[in-house]
């Protein structure tokens, strides 16, 4: 099988899963954005997916991401930074990526806003830590609405960035009902935040290869798919 045939089959399989769950949930297909989580995948393989119409890529590591941004320019994807953010890297992140998932402190959000020298604002998602895992970043459900509001107000006055919603990377769960129960918490946080503060957040970035159906059932607007799209990483 050529690399192109491989990419076509993989992309088709993931898109079919997304269509099937959207149909079941009576959600429109274009309400869910597919982000290819392309860390550790070769630019040549990723290019095949772009040529087949994949429009969004997510990268975790800054240097690797920037080198791909420089080499994958036609067609130009929308770039998402989905890795952990170090505060001394915010300037490069803000000026190279369109979306930044995984913001979990006011300081990071304000730095992204202030350091963005581009015309368009960088779109930010606040990371939720739904399992209270200390190894992962993110804010707890109880702190999230207040912090989201604070970030939204602060960066609105600075310009350069906009808060759009939440992202989460929950622990892998064994059953569909455990998966949906976890993603439902994120949906709740989004609804609560909008009710309390009226800041009109719309995005939920959640769902990976193993749980995209449950995430979409609970309102994901962006799914980040690595393994099931590109294959195993080295």
Ligand X SMILES: *Cc1c(COP(=O)(O)O)cnc(C)c1O
The answer to whether 227 contacts ligand X (rule: CB under 6 A) is: yes
The answer to whether 209 contacts ligand X (rule: CB under 6 A) is: yes
The answer to whether 208 contacts ligand X (rule: CB under 6 A) is: yes
Among 82, 122, 125, 139, binds ligand X (CB under 6 A): 82
* Options 7-15, 19-27, 112-120, 218-226: segment touching ligand X (CB under 6 A): 218-226
The answer to whether 144 contacts ligand X (rule: CB under 6 A) is: no
| Angle, helix 144-158 to helix 106-115, in steps of 10 degrees | 20
Q: Which is nearer to ligand X, 103 or 169 (CB)?
A: 169
CB of 101 to ligand X, least distance (A): 7
**Residues that contact ligand X, how many (by CB under 6 A):** 13
From residue 96 to residue 115, the character string flagging contacts with ligand X as x (rule: CB under 6 A) and all else as - is --------------------
The answer to whether 37 contacts ligand X (rule: CB under 6 A) is: yes
Cα-Cα end-to-end distance for the chain: 20
The answer to whether 192 contacts ligand X (rule: CB under 6 A) is: no
The answer to whether 148 contacts ligand X (rule: CB under 6 A) is: no
Of 113, 141, 146, 116, residue with least CA distance to 127: 141
Q: How far is CA 92 from the centre of its chain?
A: 18
Residues that bind ligand X (CB under 6 A): 37, 39, 60, 82, 169, 208-210, 224-228
């Amino acid at each position: 099988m050529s690399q192109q045939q491989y990419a076509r089959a993989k992309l088709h399989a993931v898109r079919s899963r997304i269509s099937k769950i959207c149909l079941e949930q009576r959600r429109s297909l274009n309400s869910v954005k597919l982000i290819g989580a392309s860390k550790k995948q070769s630019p040549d393989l990723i290019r095949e997916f772009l040529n087949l119409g994949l429009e969004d890529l997510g990268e975790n590591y800054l240097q690797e991401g920037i080198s791909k941004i420089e080499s994958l320019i036609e067609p130009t994807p929308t770039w998402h930074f989905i890795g952990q953010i170090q505060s001394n890297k915010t300037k490069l992140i803000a000026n190279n990526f369109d979306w930044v998932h995984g913001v979990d402190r006011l300081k990071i959000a304000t730095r992204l806003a202030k350091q963005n020298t581009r015309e368009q604002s960088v779109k930010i998602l606040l990371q939720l830590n739904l399992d209270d895992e200390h190894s992962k970043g993110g804010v707890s459900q109880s702190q999230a609405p207040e912090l989201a509001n604070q970030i939204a107000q602060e960066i609105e006055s600075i310009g350069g960035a906009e808060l759009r919603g939440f992202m989460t990377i929950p622990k892998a769960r064994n059953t569909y009902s455990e998966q949906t129960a976890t993603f439902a918490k994120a949906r709740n946080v989004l609804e609560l935040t909008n009710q309390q503060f009226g800041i009109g957040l719309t995005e939920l970035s959640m769902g990976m290869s193993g749980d995209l159906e449950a995430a979409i059932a609970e309102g994901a607007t962006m799914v980040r798919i690595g393994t099931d799209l590109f294959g195993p990483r080295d």
